[in-house]
Amino acid sequence: AMPIKVFFHDDFYNVYTSDPAAESGRMEAVVKELEGKVEWMPIAPIAIEKVEMVHSREQIERVKRQGVYDIAFLSAGGACQAAELSLKETCFALIRPPGHHASSNNAWGFCYFSNMAIAVKSLIDRNLIKSAYVLDIDMHFGDGTDNILKSDDNVIVHNIETEDRIEYMKEIEDAMSKCQTDLIAISAGFDNHVDDWGGVLETEDYERIGHLTSVAAKRCNAGLFGILEGGYNHDVLGRNTLALL
């Protein structure tokens, strides 16, 4: 099998704020684990219109005032490029800041722009897909992605909210066995791992999630990609990311 393509940019090493998502060593931990096992893909700038399609002028200005516009924009770009490539081959965007708590006119929880919503909407807007299934496995409810995409009847946003490991995996299994879609997009937060904040999943569960989504994507003839959201224990983040890939 060909190594999976992972979108990344050296600027993601920069510590852009004092929050846990921006912490020093976080991206290094993942890159170290993936090095030699994936094909690194550069992130090119995207059109500002893609962000404006999802976010208000006020929100964009607010992000500029916070001094994180460039890095947030680059992160959204990585998500968009992964989404587009996923229609040809499965891939991943190793990006930060995360995005699933960013709504069109506000953001919290270490997020600024809704990377996932921007990526999905940019494909729908260009008629590359008609429908999408967003699976959010982060321990926190992705309210931003949900707020932005829930008005679209052709997009399902599915947050796994149980704290029971068996139920958690069963819910994903059921969802993936039934879904009919053009695109499966994983908001991959790894903070639900036993050694992270959530304390629910084992590393092998991420491998299983990768398998279940892959089988579903093949069955639907759909694109499949993931983007990094949460995950704060640097000792296990790389291993968990690799397990999903």
Q: Residue-wise pLDDT tens for the chain (245 aa)?
A: 789 999 999 999 999 999 999 999 999 999 999 999 999 999 988 899 999 999 999 999 999 999 999 999 999 999 999 999 999 999 999 999 999 999 999 999 999 999 999 999 999 999 999 999 999 999 999 999 999 999 999 999 999 999 999 999 999 999 999 999 999 999 999 999 999 999 999 999 999 999 999 999 999 999 999 999 999 999 999 999 999 99
Say if CB 190 and CB 240 are below 8 A apart. yes
Which residues in 11-112 belong to E strands, given as ranges?
39-41, 91-93
- pTM for this structure? 0.97
pLDDT at position 2, please?
83
Nearest to 114 by CA among 157, 143, 154, 151: 143
Is 140 catalytic? The answer is no
Two structure tokens written together for 32: 């170290």
pLDDT at residue 45, rounded to an integer? 83
Rounded to an integer, what distance in angstroms lies between the CA atom of residue 56 and that of residue 104?
Answer: 6
Of the candidates 9, 55, 100, 101, the residue annotated as catalytic is 101
**In angstroms, what CA-CA distances link 178 with 5, 143, 148, 165?**
27, 24, 24, 20
C-alpha dist (Å) from residue 19 to 95, 109, 136, 140: 15, 9, 21, 16
